[in-house]
Structure 1
């Protein structure tokens, strides 16, 4: 009997469930287990349940997963795996289903015979979801032909494990209602869920994942749904990320192998852009901070490409020393490894620490890439020429940076003349507003609290850094002013891409633009600058978007500021219940400059009454795809996006 068949015939029963500790602390300190109790933690509830289904798929027992967002913002996740065991757990004296659902650190993840690799490594997943739900119903379609079900509230069983029917299929369905008393937000975002499920489909080729949103009906009265399925896996993932970029070589390079017991998959391609986009995963978990698998990839890429370039004589005429960064400019790569016992640095699972993975990835990439370069000399030459151009641009960028820094030193404080600084010097308290236009900048300067709020007016649109080489950004006055005001520098002696935050002057950087098309464009240009060159500021949670009101609605002495179109309808109905909208004075704010300093302070800048949005990166891969599509050269993908997402979009290209 083959090993695969032998493994598939192994029983998955109560004996495979290992119990480590109880569930008491989850409701008291939920953020310790799911990250936070905001919108991110709310969505994390879905990931924990879906991860269990993906683990079944990785073990070879499941190929269909369905995620439903219900009308009441409850979630239902269904898979066609083996079904959670329902037989009695010998040690606990209760059904294995109840143990899995109510005991922290209980699950098949701790039994190596059940799951060789797993995303939900701490086993806290589904029991945490149970603890943080007002209602959870677990339904198991069991191999014994019965449908078993148990209901819980706040992690406590409300029923026994009951037989509620018969079945000829196997699988698990988890339906849960997040506890609104715990989560600050209770409305799921379709796009956030879709992005993660798309990612999982690419990372697990051959698995069908369906997303259904019962909250919305289309024009035909049908529910919104989307299917995610990938045959090509990582190759298709790279093509998706590079969909709005011009490719340097026709097809991605795919590398796969298993070294030191670590299965490795890598897909990569080069494009004509000036940015690097390396996205890494361990057991389907996005490792935002990289780790040993990324180190192994970068070492192999640099060594292999440099060795080939040296042998082929392509670097002979270059007078500029090539660095590791140069080999990664215009590179898009996906690295996915499966590790039986991964060691993540920190609770967030964002950086892999296993040293043995470095060699596994390095060997796999070196061997495959060497063959590719030797067998495809035309593509190899194009890649090396791109590397040489990157080295020249890096050298020019370093000179430009040094020039800007010298000028700052010579001019004394070096702060931009337009900056109205604050008196406080503690960065943790200070706020910098990047304001569109001199008019709004004037209102903001008069309306602010001078102690901790600084204002930097921006004239016109800054350079689109998505389509410009790095040295060009130092020629743009507005970008120079932003960098100088912040007190940050890009590039160090050892790393030309590193962001130096040692002299960062503000821990709140607020983008404040008009609520019109030009304002949206300026905001996106600034966000592109931060994402491409100062991403660490976003990751630290320092970047915000101001939310000025769209309307001021008055009736007599009664007035209300309105921030959304939906809110406008509600306020109008409340202030004119008889339906006479003409009895109201409705002022539409097209620009920040239309508000006087006091109004701008009350609505947009006062910490006690303002409503700012913190910028975060839910998926680095999706964010990269979005910025390259919105701000790159390719028009068709951008047009499709606008037509799909804008409610009243009319696009003329």
Structure 2
């Protein structure tokens, strides 16, 4: 019997219903606040963007942000929204001042959707306009208005106030992480010099723009002082570090375009062209850009982004009557960078030496690279290490941001993940035992070592990050000493050769449960001893308790619970305080006596951790020449 298809089958959703039913169309993923691109931070950004646009138009020099558990408030001191349109701005789709480019010439938000998404996805949303001695205040719940009032301002300064609480009915259990909000705020201040943003009473301000950004984010000593170039609608900061990879911070109209776009492509090409012309030599682009650290910010009229979350610029032109983005950036870099290098011969000499060294290394391993590429090409036809997925990060698919590669140890663990994964978005790469410690080695090892070469090919990052095939690279190892060691070896590999993967927040550690506590009615998976004790108390007397020693012990039916939408991931992050060279030298280098002393002085056995009694000292005879524990002492916990 066929299902009837009539006028009754056609549904028209109210604006707020559509946003709540399809939130991913408006804010990307939902998340629980544990990752910086989770939806609750997109809501905050949508509100702050409006205040930033006011500042960019010369109105208000301060923004106050307050976070009280799950409620956020944002107060700016601009002109205030025209009060007759306050409710329309908050609840009527395709309504906003940003359609008038005379009022908001180079704004981030142009489609009139952002603030409505915040409204619809909040269980409480309050918006106030303080203007001309009056306050108009509207309150909504899930996008539906519940209160509208007007009262005297009593001397309060003009501006706009927004308060919202993301709806747990949409987002589930979530929590804001201060550090992610602080990073967002710092980026706003770098791009809007002399704007003060206060977050829970702490003030942030930048006087030197992108120069401050690089100075505060570089984790290694730059080879030469940062080159800082500014022009109308463009600002650039450039230097080189040591090691490999390319590291970029890109922005459009104050929006952090984490996935780059046409402006980044144009900058990379313009930089190579300018360097070649300055030195009058046809250097290879990879030699010129290896270990570059750069930030670029441009302002574009009516920018076109490739998604509502605005992380990748699609615009090809600077504006309706302006030059192309490529031509604009090329002309600027060619003039300003060329002039700078002519005036700063010492920097020019350091840069030349860096390029020559990169060229020597590339040529030294060119033969090995050719063999490795052929090997990877053959392996890709039947790569037993990689069980690929269908949707990749570099595709146009709506679910591209979900693409994930799990790096596992051994056949049993990879078998469990492979059987329980989402074949559309989750791939598995299986390691054979412990990978090589790559600290202090050159990139030659990436091509000589078959496993690393196949991993590089799977990620498709040999040339650059543009073709990265997975948004999340997840290290999935056992929660024991060997698993921790493999974890460290892989992080060392990425830090050594592909640090931009970590800087751009693509590398994660998978958390898997340590215990399963169950009775006949309920099963609880516990990630910590504290969670285990709580579960025992909840389930009552004599529950069955299982301690998982390895991923291979978890059945595929169970494993799907741990790699689904609610999987727990720890982001591998780099901050200015993390000096890569020093970290790797101490933990992964050949400094045996220092590390041996550290292990001896910090070892504690499990019982002593629980009882909080002094830990026994490890016997020096049980530590090998590399400063690692022998097999008998692997039950000790550092």
Mapping of 1:306-385 within 5 angstroms? Answer: 306-310=276-280, 322-349=283-310, 350-355=312-317, 356=323, 357-385=325-353
Q: Aligned partners of 2:327 and 2:294: how far apart in 1? A: 18
**SS in structure 1 opposite 2:105?**
coil
Deviation, structure 1 residue 307: 2.0
Distance 1:376 1:614 in 2: 46
* Corresponding residue for residue 139 of structure 2: 151
Matching of residue 234 in structure 1 with residue 234 in structure 2? no
For residues 365-412 of structure 1, the C-alpha deviation after alignment (integer angstroms, 9 at most, x for no partner) is 222212211111111011011112222333345432322244567899
Cα pair 2:512 2:562 within 8 Å, conserved: no
Closer, same or farther: CA 514–598 of 1 in aligned 2, 3 Å: closer
Which residue of structure 2 lines up, in the alignment, with residue 90 of structure 1?
Answer: none
The residue number in structure 2 matching 1:299 is 269
Deviation, 1:272, is: 1.9
Q: Which residue of structure 1 lines up, in the alignment, with residue 98 of structure 2?
A: 109
CA contact (8 A) 1:432 1:509 kept: yes
* Cα distance between partner residues in 2 of 1:629 and 1:521: 23
C-alpha spacing 1:176/1:396, structure 2 compared with 1 (3 Å): same
Give 5+ residue unaligned stretches, structure 1. Answer: 1-20, 87-94, 213-224, 316-320, 578-582, 618-622, 640-647
> What is the match of residue 359 of structure 2?
391
Q: Tell me if structure 2 keeps the 8 A contact 1:434–1:458.
A: no
Match of 1:160 in 2: 148
Q: Distance in 2 between matches of 1:285 and 1:637?
A: 36
Secondary structure at 2:171's aligned position in 1? coil
C-alpha RMSD of matched pairs (Å): 4.4
Q: TM-score, normalised by structure 1?
A: 0.72
Residue 248 (str. 1) matches residue 196 (str. 2): no
Match of 1:84 in 2: 81
3-state DSSP of counterpart to 2:293: strand
Q: Residue 56 of structure 1 is aligned with which of 54, 57, 73? A: 54
Give distance in 2, aligned partners of 1:232 and 1:166: 37
Counterpart residue number, 1:195 = 183
Q: Closer, same or farther in 2 for the Cα pair 1:202/1:137, shift >3 Å?
A: same
Contact 1:499–1:533, Cα closer than 8 Å, also in 2: no
- Retained in 1: the 8 A contact 2:250–2:257? yes
CA drift of 1:323 comes to 1.8
Matched with 2:7 is: none
Secondary structure in structure 1 of the residue aligned to 2:369: helix
Deviation at 1:37, TM superposition (A): 3.4
Shift of 1:241: 2.2
Partner of 1:280: 250
Q: How has the CA–CA distance of structure 1 residues 428 and 110 changed in structure 2, closer, same or farther, with 3 Å as cutoff?
A: closer
Residues of 2 paired with 1:558 and 1:348: CA distance?
Answer: 39
Does 2:525 match 1:526?
no
Q: Which residue of 2 aligns with 1:124?
A: 113
The structural deviation recorded for 1:174 is 0.6
Rate the CA distance shift 1:565–1:147 in 2: closer, same or farther, 3 A: farther
Residues 416 and 554, structure 2, Cα contact 8 Å, conserved in 1: no
Residues 467-486 of structure 1: pairs in structure 2 closer than 5 A: 469-480=442-453, 482-483=455-456, 486=458
Flag the 1:136–1:267 CA change in 2: closer, same or farther, 3 A.
same
Counterpart mapping for 1:500-515 below 5 A? 511-515=475-479
Does the Cα contact within 8 Å between 1:274 and 1:469 map onto a contact in 2?
no
Q: Distance in 2 between matches of 1:507 and 1:270?
A: 26
Conserved in 1, the CA contact under 8 Å of 2:26 and 2:309?
no
Q: Which ranges of structure 2 fall in alignment gaps of 5 or more residues?
A: 1-13, 33-37, 318-322, 393-402, 588-608, 610-614, 616-626, 628-638
Report the counterpart of residue 74 of structure 1 in structure 2: 71
Which residue pairs with 1:220 in the alignment?
Answer: none
**Residue 38 of structure 1 contacts residue 185 of structure 1 at CA under 8 Å; is this kept in 2?**
no
Which residue pairs with 1:4 in the alignment? Answer: none
CA pair 342-548 structure 1, distance change in 2 beyond 3 A: closer
SS of the residue corresponding to residue 290 of structure 1 reads coil
| CA gap 1:188/1:454 in 2 versus in 1, 3 angstroms | closer
Following TM superposition, by how much is the alpha carbon of 1:633 offset from its aligned partner in structure 2, in angstroms? 0.3
Residue 604 of structure 1 corresponds to 559
For each residue in 1:33-88, what CA deviation from the matched residue of structure 2 results, as whole angstroms up to 9, or x when unmatched? 222333422221111101011111111112211222223x12111122222222xx
Contact 1:297 1:361 in 2 (8 A): yes
Aligned equivalent of 2:580:
632
1:109 Cα shift?
Answer: 1.2
Residue 407 of structure 2, aligned match among 406, 414, 434 = 434
CA distance in 2, matches of 1:393, 1:431: 32
Query: Equivalent residue for 1:561?
Result: 525
TM-score after normalising by structure 2? 0.73
The alpha carbon displacement at 1:634 in A equals 3.5
Distance 1:231 1:508 in 2: 35
The 2-side partners of 1:431 and 1:345 are apart by: 20
In 2, the alpha carbon distance for the partners of 1:309 and 1:567 equals 62
Is the Cα–Cα contact under 8 Å of residues 245 and 272 in structure 1 kept in the other structure? yes
Residues 239/27 of structure 1: CA separation in 2 closer, same or farther (3 Å cut) = same
Q: Secondary structure at the match of 2:334?
A: helix
Aligned partner of 1:17 in structure 2 is none
Task: Please tell me whether residue 549 in structure 1 is matched to residue 513 in structure 2.
Answer: yes
1:218 aligned partner:
none
Assess if the C-alpha contact under 8 Å between 1:602 and 1:609 holds in 2.
Answer: no
Is the alpha carbon distance of 1:207 and 1:269 closer, same or farther for their aligned partners in structure 2, counting shifts above 3 Å?
same
In the alignment, is residue 207 of structure 1 matched against residue 192 of structure 2?
no
| Separation in 2, partners of 1:113, 1:431 | 43
After TM superposition, give the deviation of residue 490 of structure 1 in Å.
Answer: 5.2
SS at match of 1:354: coil
Query: What SS does the aligned partner of 1:181 have?
Result: helix
1:585, distance to aligned residue in structure 2 (A): 8.6
Over 3 Å counting, the alpha-carbon distance change for 1:241 and 1:139 in structure 2 is same
In the aligned structure 1, how far is the partner of 2:265 from the partner of 2:49? 26
Distance 2:267 2:48 in 1: 29
Aligned residues: 551
Looking at structure 1, the residues matched to 92 and 150 of structure 2 have their Cα atoms a distance apart, in angstroms, of: 19
1:14 paired residue number? none
1:33 match: 26
